């Protein structure tokens, strides 16, 4: 477990250090950037909150329904951190099998300025029934990767498509590598 925590810190730390701004850095001729009221006071600002997530479904002999809501907060103009939940209903009429799968996630994203690219890191926990063990198990995934984003409106809302890699992949991993995911993030 300690190795997993250290690996997560190692993966996320470049995003955190890259997102920090140096207050005293000024080059002659540059115009100083103005800060928003929440950045000046350090108070919570609802304008920096995003909601979103993803949906998925298929119906027939194999029924699959997924809902994955997320909530995020812009710590800086390019750095987003948040949490999410996942619920999946799975039914296979051929093998007469039905199950509920659920989990949660903590994620960070770095949205590069003036280019449609973002970096993504995530820790994911899924609880599902394992046929090998004949019991419900928890699978922890540590995902890193990136993708493309399409801005919507004011710049705090966007559509994204991500390609992620589970660096903690094992035989119990819920998602096989590579993980391709699409979603939406809407700024409030």
User: Which residue segment(s) compose the domain that 138 sits in?
Assistant: 2-15+74-83+103-187
Q: Identify the pLDDT of residue 40.
A: 56
Q: Considering the domain boundaries, does residue 26 fall inside one?
A: no
Whether residue 117 is contained in a domain is answered as: yes
* 184: its two tokens: 């939406």
Assigned domain for 91 exists: no
Residue 168: inside a domain: yes
**Does residue 90 form part of some domain?**
no
3-state secondary structure the chain: CHHHHHHHHHHHHHHHHHHCCCCCCCCCCCCCCCCCHHHHHCCCCHHHEEEEEEEEEECCCEEEEEEEEEEEEECCCCEEEEEEEEEEEEEECCCCEEEEEEEEEEEEEEECCCCCEEEEEEEEEEEEEECCCCEEEEEEEEEEEEEEEEEECCCCEEEEEEEEEECCCCCCCCCCCCEEEEEEEEEC
Number of domains in the chain: 1
Of the candidates 162, 155, 122, the one whose C-alpha atom is nearest the C-alpha of residue 50 is 155
Predicted TM-score (pTM) of the model is 0.70
d(CA 165, CA 175): 9
- Is residue 167 one of the residues assigned to a domain? yes
Q: Is residue 140 part of a domain?
A: yes
Residue 16 is predicted with a pLDDT of 43
Answer yes or no: is 63 within a domain: no
Per-residue confidence in pLDDT tens, the chain, 188 aa: 555 554 444 454 444 444 444 444 444 444 445 555 545 566 888 889 999 988 888 888 888 899 999 999 999 988 999 999 999 998 888 888 788 889 999 999 999 988 899 999 999 999 988 877 788 889 899 999 999 999 888 667 889 999 999 998 888 887 788 888 888 888 88
Q: How many Å apart are CA 174 and CA 142, to the nearest integer?
A: 11
């Amino acid at each position: 477990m300690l190795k997993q925590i250290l690996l997560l810190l190692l993966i996320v730390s470049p995003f955190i250090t890259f997102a920090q701004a140096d207050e005293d850095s000024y080059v002659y001729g540059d115009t100083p950037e103005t800060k928003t009221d929440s950045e000046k006071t350090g108070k919570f600002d609802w304008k920096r909150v995003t909601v979103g997530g993803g949906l998925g479904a298929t119906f027939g002999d194999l029924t699959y329904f997924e809902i994955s809501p997320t909530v995020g907060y812009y710590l800086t103009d390019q750095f987003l951190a948040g949490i999410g939940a996942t619920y999946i209903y799975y039914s296979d009429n051929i093998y007469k099998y039905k199950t509920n799968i659920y989990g949660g996630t903590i994620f960070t994203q770095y949205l590069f300025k003036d280019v449609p690219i973002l970096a993504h890191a995530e820790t994911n926990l899924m609880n599902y029934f394992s046929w090998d063990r004949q019991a419900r198990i928890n699978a922890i995934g540590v995902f890193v990767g990136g993708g493309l984003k399409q801005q919507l409106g004011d710049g705090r809302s966007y559509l994204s498509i991500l390609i992620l890699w589970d660096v903690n992949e094992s035989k119990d991993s819920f998602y096989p590598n590579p993980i391709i995911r699409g979603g939406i993030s809407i700024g409030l």
